[in-house]
Amino acid sequence: MTAPLAPGSTIGILGGGQLGRMLAMAAVQLGYRVIGYAPEGDNVAADVCQDFFENGWGDKAALAAFASKCDVVTWEFENVPLSAVAAIPDRLLAPNPKALETAQDRLAEKAFVEQLGATAAPHARVESEEDFRRALEEVGTPGILKTARDGYDGKGQWKVGSAQDAKGVRFPGRRCVFEGYVEFETEFSVILVRGHDGTIRFWDSTSNTHDDGMLASSILPAGDLVDSQVDEARQIATKTANALQYVGVLCLEFFATGQGPIFNEMAPRVHNSGHWTIEGAATSQFENHIRAIAGLPLGGTDTRFASIDMRNIVGEDALTAHQILAEDGEPHLHLYGKKEARDGRKMGHVTRVSHKA
């Protein structure tokens, strides 16, 4: 990009979920038009876009029409099919599609960060039932069998607590990875933003908890162990962003262990564990992603409060979420406008901030 996008330019977002919704809100605030693209469904991003294409990922004519209206195109989740991204001219895309290709395959992702010096959980490739049984012997139990592609929020995963448990788990017929469990104190995120000029800024790292594979909370301060391992994890994140010639917000998740940070997975997009930055940081992850892909100066990432607690609102809890507003302190409620409050579905989040540690 040779010059920043002028006000009134159009940013395209592939995907129609809550991350796209919050990206669109940040883009509009900076004076841009936003159009989205996703298959038909509960596309909550459409509520805040100036235009929205509800077409399939394989509809090349629709993708071409969408791209023709955009000055830059980004994405809000990592499972946008690569064939759909390939239908968009390279000059419009940010981040680099190589990041999407890498993150969509857990085996490729682990190999990529390991060659940059990261340590990943013990793992083995599984392409058959025989491979699965061999992986159980090599890696050991407990562990978890994951599809190599298309998994998120705990989907496409099967826990294997023991060799006996493994008898009830069958190879799903798709390429997988079997990962051994890592003994860790907590999980933490390293979230950065990288500009077109290679400038990188980090937000503080949160301590994360999960329920059934889905993020439940992100908390600051993260604790002494995380704080002692953040620098090493940031070095890996920096190498990753530079190797991918990345532009925008990138998240790497780590386990904090007695042996140092262990890489878990990468998300080439804004991330759930960074939602706290809307109220809690000088510039949110959403605004900085838009700034980066638009060629604007990056905003500061300093934390603005002594303590921050972000929690997801899942399923029917959203129906009574407005009660949170009656709490003392500073609760900031975000509901995503989803029509159906299903079990296990992210419906919103609340961020509680305080100047007291």
Q: What is the pLDDT of residues 249-285, one digit of tens each?
A: 999 999 999 999 999 999 999 999 999 999 999 999 9
Q: How confident is the model at residue 357 (pLDDT cuts 50, 70, 90)?
A: confident
- Please check whether residue 152 is in contact with residue 78, taking contact to mean a CB–CB distance below 8 angstroms: yes
Average pLDDT, the chain: 94
142 token code pair: 């407990």
Tell me the C-alpha distance between 244 and 297, whole Å.
20
pLDDT value at position 274? Answer: 98
The residue-averaged pLDDT of 162-168 equals 73
pLDDT tens digits for range 304-328: 999 999 999 999 999 999 999 999 9
Residue 153 has pLDDT above 60, yes or no: no
Q: Would you tell me which CATH number, out of the four given (3.30.70.360, 3.40.50.1980, 3.30.1490.20, 3.50.50.100), belongs to the domain 122-180?
A: 3.30.1490.20
Just give the CATH number of 186-354: 3.30.470.20
DSSP code of residue 4 = P
Instruction: List, by residue range, all CATH 3.30.470.20 domains of the chain.
Output: 186-354
Q: Which CATH topology does 10-93 take? A: Rossmann fold (3.40.50)
Helix axes 18-29, 285-293, angle to 10 degrees: 70
**pTM for the predicted model, two decimal places:** 0.94
Burial (CB < 10 A; 0-12, 13-18, 19+), residue 26, is buried
pLDDT value at position 155? Answer: 67
Burial (CB < 10 A; 0-12, 13-18, 19+), residue 93, is buried
- Which residues lie below 8 Å from residue 61, measured CB to CB, with a gap of 6+? none
Tell me the C-alpha distance between 345 and 338, whole Å.
9
Q: How confident is the model at residue 46 (pLDDT cuts 50, 70, 90)?
A: very high
Tell me the C-alpha distance between 293 and 278, whole Å.
18
Q: For residue 288, give the nearest of 353, 192, 205, 218 by alpha carbon.
A: 192
pLDDT value at position 333? Answer: 98
